[in-house]
A and B are shown apart, each in its own frame.
Chain A
Amino acid sequence: MKPSLVVVGALVAVGLSACASDPDESTASGDLSVAATDSSCDVSATKLEAGPSTFKVSNKGSKVTEFYVYAEGDRIMGEVENIGPGLTRNLVVDLPKGTYEGACKPGMIGDGIRQTLTVTGQAAKRLSDSQELQAAADSYARYVKSQSDTLIVKTTEFVDAVKAGDVDKAKQLFPIARTYWERIEPVAEKFGDLDPITDGREPDAKAEGVDFTGWHRIEKQLWVEDNTEGMDKYADQLLGNVKKIVQLGQDTPLTALELAQGSKGLLDEVATGKITGEEDEFSHTDLWDFKANVEGSQAAIASLRPVLEKQDPALVRKLDEQFAALDRELNQHQDKDTGAWTFYDELTKDQVKALSNAVAALSEPISQVAAAVAASA
């Protein structure tokens, strides 16, 4: 895998006039080349547009070299070191408007051979300004809305069963209600104070010296005690908090970059909580959550798809391929008639490893999504 190509590709696509023939006459952004020798340092353009630029530094000399971009007072804006003779290394620097110096350092010593770089134009556009990105965020907001509506319905059913003392029904509804929660988890996680009291684990509550509340408090009572005693207040509180989060989520929708980070965050959730069976330690219904996290991640990528297709079609293909592979691995564990998933404690070690491999394989391309989204701004 060559993750860097994603970034390079993305930036090239944005570039206006890379490698102009007369460096002093042009204004460039995106891709620049730097030809370094033992006695020279030629940057393909010395006037740049504000925003991220990629310097492709080729060492055509005989000494090891390095390349720096300095702001006033030799403040380092970016650097790439250890470029051996004959090697090319790249450097991405995000430069606001101003005057800088590019410096090659043959032999990696001294002040270097310097060239003034003038950066003009506006600082990089805010990511939310792009219409495409706004469209992606809007699309995901619609997804969140649809999931939120059902989340409230299913949580209400669950809470009603708990309050009615119907243990079997509550147990049955627990993983189903959570499905809608787990699909839109990045939304909940934005609200740092609400997430822990809704979805926190017992050891964390203990460590903080606070009351253990939320989904997992009720889960413990249902599966460990097999009753619903004393759960009324937790049930009411859970429903209240879920409604609050849904409302807040709709008031402040995720930006496209948050969305890209959220798609990765959902898989990180899987890799740390679900693949270890830590999340639903009493009920072992982790695979319901697992599937829901993956679906949420997939929905985020789907919203970003038009942006990604433009920026990096190869990344989109890779994502499709790995989502499909993860689905194949995961879907083996679902009962096709009832839709129920295998309980975590019934999975063999090999099955868990296979799931973990599939999550890791998908997580690598997903970790490239944010850079592609940022590059499209």
Chain B
Amino acid sequence: MTAQDHSGSGLSRRKLLGAAGVGALAVGAGGGYAVGQASGEPKAPAGVVDPDAAPIPFEGAHQAGIVTPSQDRLYFATFDMTSDKREDLISLLKDWTAAARQMTQGNDVGDFGAVSGSPYAPPEDTGEALGLPPSGLTLTIGFGRSLFVDDKGRTRFGLEGRLPDRLKNLPSFAGDRLDQAISDGDIAVQACANDPQVAVHAVRNFARIAFGRASVRYSQMGFGRTSSTSTAQVTARNLFGFKDGTANIKVEDAKDVDDFVWVHEDDGPAWLVGGSYLVSRKIDMRIEIWDREPLEGQEAIIGRTKGSGGPRSGGDEFADLDFDAKDETGKPLIDTKSHVRLAHPDANNGAKLLRRGYNFVDGSNGLGQLSAGLFFIAYQRDPEKQFVQIQRSLAGLQNDTLNEYIVHVGSGLFACPPGVGTTGYWGEKLFA
């Protein structure tokens, strides 16, 4: 961005304070503010702005952050309710929705924001996103099974009859080493943005708004999106160096999105129609061991070539997988226990997922090894027929040979309500 007037377009929150004076203002984003107008229709920005910095509309039939083209960064957190009062849950969802409306459009939280309030009161907004553009921030929320029933099966928050049948606890998968401290939670919040500071700012403000009503169970920072959710995006690589998400459902595949992502009317409770189910899995990757594996072995385990990402059966990245193709010794070119074969719809009754995973590095483990891996996120219409089906096919050392190099350590399943309109709040229909 240059410090010029973009004919009324530009960046929210972005501004040179004080000394620079008016001439040097980098002005606010027209596209973003337009969303706040009564019409609710975002205006196309008049000038050329960095598309990665522009705001993404908050309102709509579906929540943003699901089929939205994957942003660069993730900050994911789950919260547990510390209050058992229904009105506290409702007021929290209302307050979060109001803050999300403001933050996703590049504005400060609250009436006074970060710097215009009383000098004797703590600022309403924590302020670390001042001067930054909206950065494509999306905030997406999901409800865990524990929000509906406690571990003894008793209903919480008066949500009798509201628990979706499909919001079951995920089954145990062979090889899982799940840590409860980084699994589940009453409410999940996925913040995606093209600037990590903007994503962290959003979750931090959410946590603060929640004090007294809910507290953070765990949070996870992610970078380097490992799936593309749009054909306009290049396929990114995971920390094993392979292109990840080549065969992912893309927003442009309207039929797949409808068939595999959104909850339909006859699928379950009315409040969830237009929503989706989010599965999160924290997957530790044994980076150093993998890095000692010869290229040939790495490619056989994945079933694709490392360079182009094309299948081992031949062709470019997007070529169809030929599971029948064999080498001169009669061995399948795509190994029977390779990751792509076992994850493929053909091996899973046609099941597909919309993936939105991110790489993570939590520093090193004290032995000089990276504490790193993939924070896997997938959205789907039916977790049993989709994630569970595929994960059963993959899990265990007898199956996907990749399992020698990865271990699932965190897990979660959340029902994500549909989007909100100009006046509603997240999950409103749940309380109707």
Instruction: Confirm or deny: A272 has a beta carbon within 8 angstroms of a beta carbon on chain B.
Output: no
Instruction: Confirm or deny: A304 has a beta carbon within 8 angstroms of a beta carbon on chain B.
Output: no
**Would A82 and B211 be within 8 Å (CB), given that A89-B112, A91-B112, A92-B119 are in contact?**
no
Instruction: Confirm or deny: B18 has a beta carbon within 8 angstroms of a beta carbon on chain A.
Output: yes
Q: Which residue of A lies closest to B121 (CB)?
A: A371
A7 lies within 8 A of B112 (CB): yes
A364 lies within 8 A of B212 (CB): yes
A364 lies within 8 A of B116 (CB): no
B117 lies within 8 A of A7 (CB): yes
Instruction: Confirm or deny: B215 has a beta carbon within 8 angstroms of a beta carbon on chain A.
Output: yes
Q: Which residue of A lies closest to B115 (CB)?
A: A79
A360 lies within 8 A of B107 (CB): no
A contacts, CB < 8 Å to B:
1-8, 11, 52, 62-64, 74, 76, 78-82, 84-92, 94, 105, 107-111, 257, 322, 353-354, 356-358, 360-365, 367-368, 370-371, 373-375
Q: Which residue of A lies closest to B208 (CB)?
A: A364
Interface pairs A-B: 5 shortest CB-CB: A361-B212, A371-B121, A84-B36, A371-B120, A374-B120
Instruction: Confirm or deny: B305 has a beta carbon within 8 angstroms of a beta carbon on chain A.
Output: no
A78 lies within 8 A of B118 (CB): no
Cα of A357 to Cα of B111 in the assembled complex, Å: 26
**Which residues of the other chain, B, contact A4 by a CB distance below 8 angstroms?**
110-112, 117, 121, 124
B3 to chain A, nearest CB (A): 12
Pick the residue among A74, A90, A361, A370 that contacts B112 (CB under 8 A). A90
**Would A85 and B25 be within 8 Å (CB), given that A1-B95, A6-B121, A80-B116 are in contact?**
no
A82 lies within 8 A of B27 (CB): no
**Would A3 and B38 be within 8 Å (CB), given that A89-B113, A375-B118 are in contact?**
no
**Which residues of the other chain, A, contact B5 by a CB distance below 8 angstroms?**
109
Instruction: Produce 1/0 per residue, B9-45, CB < 8 A to A.
Output: 0101101011001100101101001001110000000
B120 lies within 8 A of A1 (CB): no
Residues of B in contact, count (CB < 8 Å): 43
A78 lies within 8 A of B13 (CB): no
Q: Kindly identify, within residues 336 to 359 of chain B, every residue whose CB is under 8 Å from any CB belonging to chain A.
A: none
Cα of A358 to Cα of B212 in the assembled complex, Å: 7
A96 to chain B, nearest CB (A): 13
Interface contacts beyond A82-B15, A360-B212, A373-B120: sample of 5 additional A-B pairs, CB < 8 Å, sorted by A:
A85-B33, A89-B113, A92-B116, A109-B25, A375-B118
Q: Which residue of B lies closest to A350 (CB)?
A: B181
**Which residues of the other chain, A, contact B21 by a CB distance below 8 angstroms?**
74
B119 lies within 8 A of A82 (CB): no
A370 lies within 8 A of B121 (CB): yes
B95 lies within 8 A of A87 (CB): no
Cα of A103 to Cα of B17 in the assembled complex, Å: 15
Instruction: Confirm or deny: B233 has a beta carbon within 8 angstroms of a beta carbon on chain A.
Output: no
Instruction: Confirm or deny: B196 has a beta carbon within 8 angstroms of a beta carbon on chain A.
Output: no
B174 to chain A, nearest CB (A): 28
Cα of A76 to Cα of B28 in the assembled complex, Å: 19
A89 lies within 8 A of B111 (CB): yes
Pick the residue among A78, A111, A353, A371 that contacts B215 (CB under 8 A). A353
B contacts, CB < 8 Å to A:
5, 8, 10, 12-13, 15, 17-18, 21-22, 25, 27-28, 30, 33, 36-38, 82, 95, 105-108, 110-113, 115-122, 124, 208-209, 211-213, 215
Pick the residue among B28, B38, B117, B208 that contacts A108 (CB under 8 A). B28
**Which residues of the other chain, A, contact B38 by a CB distance below 8 angstroms?**
86
A-B contact count (CB 8 A): 131
B208 lies within 8 A of A80 (CB): no
**Which residues of the other chain, A, contact B122 by a CB distance below 8 angstroms?**
3, 367-368
**Which residues of the other chain, B, contact A6 by a CB distance below 8 angstroms?**
121
A82 lies within 8 A of B95 (CB): no
A64 lies within 8 A of B30 (CB): yes
B112 lies within 8 A of A92 (CB): yes
**Which residues of the other chain, B, contact A360 by a CB distance below 8 angstroms?**
211-212, 215
Cα of A108 to Cα of B4 in the assembled complex, Å: 12
**Which residues of the other chain, A, contact B215 by a CB distance below 8 angstroms?**
353, 356-357, 360
**Which residues of the other chain, B, contact A105 by a CB distance below 8 angstroms?**
22
**Would A2 and B110 be within 8 Å (CB), given that A109-B25, A367-B121, A367-B122 are in contact?**
yes
B101 to chain A, nearest CB (A): 10
**Which residues of the other chain, B, contact A87 by a CB distance below 8 angstroms?**
36
A128 to chain B, nearest CB (A): 15
A82 lies within 8 A of B8 (CB): no
**Which residues of the other chain, B, contact A362 by a CB distance below 8 angstroms?**
212
B107 lies within 8 A of A90 (CB): no
Cα of A367 to Cα of B25 in the assembled complex, Å: 34
Cα of A97 to Cα of B117 in the assembled complex, Å: 20
B118 lies within 8 A of A7 (CB): yes
B348 to chain A, nearest CB (A): 38
**Would A63 and B36 be within 8 Å (CB), given that A2-B110, A92-B116, A363-B211 are in contact?**
no
A374 lies within 8 A of B118 (CB): yes
Q: Which residue of A lies closest to B13 (CB)?
A: A82
In the complex, 10 of the A-B residue pairs with CB atoms within 8 angstroms, ordered by the A residue number, are A3-B124, A8-B111, A63-B8, A82-B33, A86-B38, A360-B211, A360-B212, A367-B121, A370-B121, A375-B118
B123 to chain A, nearest CB (A): 9
Q: Which residue of B lies closest to A74 (CB)?
A: B21
**Which residues of the other chain, A, contact B112 by a CB distance below 8 angstroms?**
4, 7, 80, 89-92
Q: Which of B10, B33, B117, B118 has the most CB of A within 10 A?
A: B118
A357 lies within 8 A of B82 (CB): yes
**Which residues of the other chain, B, contact A368 by a CB distance below 8 angstroms?**
121-122
B27 lies within 8 A of A90 (CB): no
A70 to chain B, nearest CB (A): 11
Cα of A5 to Cα of B37 in the assembled complex, Å: 24
Cα of A375 to Cα of B30 in the assembled complex, Å: 37
Cα of A104 to Cα of B119 in the assembled complex, Å: 22
Q: Which residue of B lies closest to A6 (CB)?
A: B121
B116 lies within 8 A of A3 (CB): no
Q: Which of B115, B120, B124 has the most CB of A within 10 A?
A: B120
Cα of A92 to Cα of B121 in the assembled complex, Å: 11
